[in-house]
Structure 1
Amino acid sequence: MFVRKRRRPVSEINVVPYIDVMLVLLIIFMVTAPLVTQGVKVDLPDAEAEALSEDSKPPLIASVDASGQYFLNSGENQDQPMSAVDLATVVAEQLKLEPNTPVVVKGDGAVPYNEVVQLMVLLQRAGVPSVGLMTETPQE
Structure 2
Amino acid sequence: MRRRFQSKTYDEINITPLMDTVFFLLIIFMITAPLLEYSVDVSPPKMVAAEIRADDYTKVIHVTKNKIIHFEGKKNISMADLLSRLHELKNSPNSTKYKFYLRADRDLLYGDVIEVFKTIKHAGFADISLVTEAEQ
Q: CA RMSD in A?
A: 4.4
Measured after TM superposition, the shift of residue 81 of structure 1 is 1.6
Q: Mark the runs of 5 or more structure 2 residues left unpaired by the alignment.
A: 40-44
| Pairing 1:81–2:79 present | no
1:69-125 per-residue CA deviation (whole Å, 9 max, x = no partner) reads 12233xxxx4132234554x4598567953x754322235xxx61x25233221444
User: Is the contact made by 1:120 and 1:131 (CA closer than 8 Å) also made in structure 2?
Assistant: no
The residue aligned with 2:4 is 4
Measured after TM superposition, the shift of residue 132 of structure 1 is 1.8
1:4-49 per-residue CA deviation (whole Å, 9 max, x = no partner) reads 35124447544323322332333333344445259xxxxx99x831
Q: Mark the runs of 5 or more structure 1 residues left unpaired by the alignment.
A: 39-43
Max Rg structure: 2
User: Is the contact made by 1:106 and 1:135 (CA closer than 8 Å) also made in structure 2?
Assistant: no
What is the letter of the counterpart of residue 132 of structure 1?
A: L
| Pairing 1:103–2:95 present | no
User: Is the contact made by 1:105 and 1:132 (CA closer than 8 Å) also made in structure 2?
Assistant: yes
What is the distance in 1 between the residues matched to 2:64 and 2:112? 11
How many positions carry a matched residue from both structures? 121
User: Is the contact made by 1:64 and 1:70 (CA closer than 8 Å) also made in structure 2?
Assistant: yes
What is the distance in 2 between the residues matched to 1:84 and 1:6? 85
What is the distance in 1 between the residues matched to 2:22 and 2:86? 45
| Pairing 1:18–2:18 present | yes
What is the distance in 2 between the residues matched to 1:91 and 1:29? 48
Length-normalised TM-score, structure 2: 0.52
The residue aligned with 1:41 is none
SS of residue matched to 2:130: strand
| Pairing 1:118–2:117 present | no
